[in-house]
Amino acid sequence: MILVTGGAGFIGANFILEWFSRNNEPVVNFDKLTYAGNLQNLASLQSDVRHVFVQGDICDSQKLKQLLDDYQPRAIIHFAAESHVDRSIHGPDDFIQTNIVGTFRLLEAARHYWNKRIGKEHYDFRFLHVSTDEVYGSLPPDVPAFTEEHVYSPNSPYSASKASSDHLVRAYHHTYGFPTLTTNCSNNYGPFQFPEKLIPLMIVNALTGKPLPIYGDGQQIRDWLYVKDHCIAISRVLEAGVPGKTYNVGGWNEKPNIEIVSLICDLLNEFCPGDYHQLITYVTDRPGHDRRYAIDARKIERELAWKPLETFETGIRKTVQWYLEHKDWIANVQSGEYRKWIAMHYQ
């Protein structure tokens, strides 16, 4: 059995679904169910005995201890995090609590649990920490992509909190010999992504005739990774990664935001004819907006034989089609809090 934290969120839910498509090992899904945690993402597993859901907070040390004692997982995959830069600018406290304090408490609970395991169970245990490329800061144009040796230089409360959690994970390996693995991924996209992030926000707004808000000049560049490819990479790192190592996971798809939005408009026009490009609206850039991120994913390909299966063109087509086919899901996540957040940032 494995333990997944944040398994009702976007990447966590996709990971669990992908996990069960490949093997039958049970998963304990530990999630606080904040605004972005949605058990509807896992509705297909409602009667599946392999999936055990436990609601709880990674900041709750006693709950973590009980969870580990009860289920005895062989590995922990740690997704649980506050993850949106804009939210971190307006409310950094949640990011400090969840991403730093929560990761610390999870590490402590896991370390004590690991120390009680003996023989093969002790040797084979793994703690896989899922992080982001944003910890590396902003890249100038024409500078090589981030490698695992790139100096950390976080520029937002979100990326600073994730960098802090990365440092804690590294320290627990170095100090205690705790068998950690870290992955730093580029921008994910795909099914079940809460519509505050760029791609689902553009799709949802376009379908309802609302403006498509583009920060600044729209030339911010990101590397885009289809979420299923990311989930396969995580499974591969868990299977064969070397404890103490970091693996960058990227899609080899650097594109400016305005190009992404234009392509979404083109695809929507193909599936649901309309004049979506006229909805593009430029808005004031957010504070400290990083200009470029890019991941060099050669290490994970060289050492673990992983590389993405989707191009951006195939992945974005699948993503747009998914949102068109799941309008009930969109309606259910558009709560009052979601509408309030959109108003705060984009009106």
CA distance 229 to 314: 12
Contact 244, 126 (CB under 8 A): no
- The residues facing 181 across adjacent strands are 128
Rounded alpha-carbon distances, angstroms, from residue 270 to 112, 205, 262, 267? 55, 17, 13, 5
Which residue has tokens 């649980």? 80
Residue 199: which of 137, 134, 288, 267 has the closest Cα? 267
Contact 234, 24 (CB under 8 A): no
Contact 39, 8 (CB under 8 A): yes
Half-sphere exposure of 282 (CA within 13 A, CB side): 6
Show which residues are catalytic.
133-134, 158
CA distance 114 to 127: 10
Which residue has tokens 């808000």? 213
Query: Quick one: 143 exposed, middle or buried, by C-beta within 10 A (0-12, 13-18, 19+)?
Result: exposed
CA 188 to chain centre: 6
Q: DSSP code of 39?
A: G
Cα torsion angle, 190, 196, 199, 203, sign? positive
CA distance 185 to 145: 12
Tokens of 158: 């979100």
Task: For the chain, give the number of residues.
Answer: 347
The DSSP bridge pattern shows strands 75-78 and 126-132 to be parallel
Residue 14: which of 87, 109, 86, 79 has the closest Cα? 79
